Amino acid sequence: MPKKQSLKSLRDKIDQIDLQIMQSISERARCAQQVAEVKKAEGDQAYYKPEREAQVLRQVMANNSGPLDNEEMARLFRQIMSACLALEQPVKVAYLGPEGTFTQEAALKHFGGSAVSVPQSAIDEVFREVSAGSCHYGVVPVENSTEGVISHTLDSFMDSSLKICGEVELRIHQHFMIGANTDRDNITRVYSHAQSLAQCRQWLNANYPTIDRVAVSSNAEAAKRVQGEWNSAAIAGDMASELYNLEKLWEKIEDRPDNSTRFLIIGRESVPPSGDDRTSVVVSVHNKPGALYNLLEPFRRHNVDMTRLESRPSRTSKWSYVFFIDMQGHQEDQAVASVLSDLMSEAAELRVLGSYPRAVL
């Protein structure tokens, strides 16, 4: 009897706490509506503020005392913030589709479940949708920890005036999946995106060395194809598995256990400093001895951490290259501003792609 009473009292306490949580969320939502009214009166149409949301999530993680870990607590607040923002104006986000891709998963991780996600068939179409104003933001993959940079994304920046507004990192788990009609003993081909096939190369060599590896436009497209075939499998993630009702024959088959992909949030407006930012630029240099050294030396002199350097062929002349550079800090920071000033004096052309909050989740 004492145990039953104790259990009942604990459940009663949970019910009271749930009521308090619900009242607090409703109060927060009403406050968000008031914020929207103030912004409207001041003529500010930018309801979504990347720097503000990053600051809130960092504060949540800093103040968390457990037992939930920091990321789990931040994800809960991410969903609350998404729902409150939708009361002001639902954020419309273009992403590399179709439904069920890792890019959609990254979009929902960054903007929350209340965002309206709009699939696009190619990366350049994501850029076009945002440029045209059909979507507020776009989400595109930029680099994978195993296979490196996504060249199509970098090339799209060369033809676009859009800015980078944020980033999100996604832990990538690949699964070997089959459909309801698949004969698991006679699998002759596997579908997946070329990046995913490369990320699982060693596992495929060891377990299915003779089957055909067919690269398709996305992992979701691979999952969709498997639905109607009896002799094929797909490599894709959890979202595709749930969306297309596929069985995971083998789970987490990626060759690297730390396999992750970084995605960029693209938009039309610049982002103010958040306190922990990254700046991305694209630079073309004059073809002369010491050009690359002159490009790199200002980072050492001003003590600015360069986190990434990629080269891509120039569109203007043969055997010429442009460099994509990521650095720690915001372009309004004194040290970063000094680096950009020095680069401008050395470069044939320099364009700041954006300063934006570093990934929180």
CATH number for the domain spanning 148: value is 3.40.190.10
Of 54, 93, 89, 43, the closest CA to residue 355 belongs to 54
**255 inside domain:** no
Quick one: pLDDT at residue 265? 97
The pTM for the full model equals: 0.88
**100 inside domain:** yes
**75 inside domain:** yes
Interacting residues of 117 by C-beta distance below 8 A, sequence separation 6+: 93, 95, 104, 107, 108, 111
> 306-350 pLDDT, tens per residue?
999 998 887 776 667 889 999 999 999 999 999 999 999 888 889
Cβ–Cβ under 8 Å, residues 31 and 25: no
d(CA 192, CA 98): 13
Relative orientation angle of helices 334-346 and 291-301, to the nearest 10 degrees? 160
> 163-180 pLDDT, tens per residue?
999 999 999 999 999 999
**328 inside domain:** yes
Domain range for residue 135?
90-172+260-267
* DSSP per-residue letters across 132-145: TTSSSEEEEEEEET
Residue 223 tokens, joined: 């999952």
In this structure, the answer to whether residues 11 and 67 fall within a common structural domain is: yes
d(CA 92, CA 109): 14
Quick one: pLDDT at residue 151? 87
Quick one: pLDDT at residue 88? 80
**62 inside domain:** yes
Quick one: pLDDT at residue 32? 87
User: Could you give the maximum distance between any two Cα atoms of the chain, in Å?
Assistant: 86
We report the CATH number of the domain holding residue 68 as 1.20.59.10
d(CA 75, CA 57): 9
d(CA 218, CA 121): 9
- Collect the ranges in the chain with pLDDT lower than 50: 1
We report the CATH number of the domain holding residue 336 as 3.30.70.260
**245 inside domain:** yes
**272 inside domain:** no
Interacting residues of 47 by C-beta distance below 8 A, sequence separation 6+: 36, 39, 85, 88, 89, 91
The total number of structural domains in the chain stands at: 4
d(CA 28, CA 32): 6
- Helical segments of 112-237, H only: 123-131, 151-158, 194-199, 201-207, 219-226
Quick one: pLDDT at residue 147? 81
User: Can you give the C-alpha Rg of the chain in angstroms?
Assistant: 23
Residue 161 tokens, joined: 């005036």
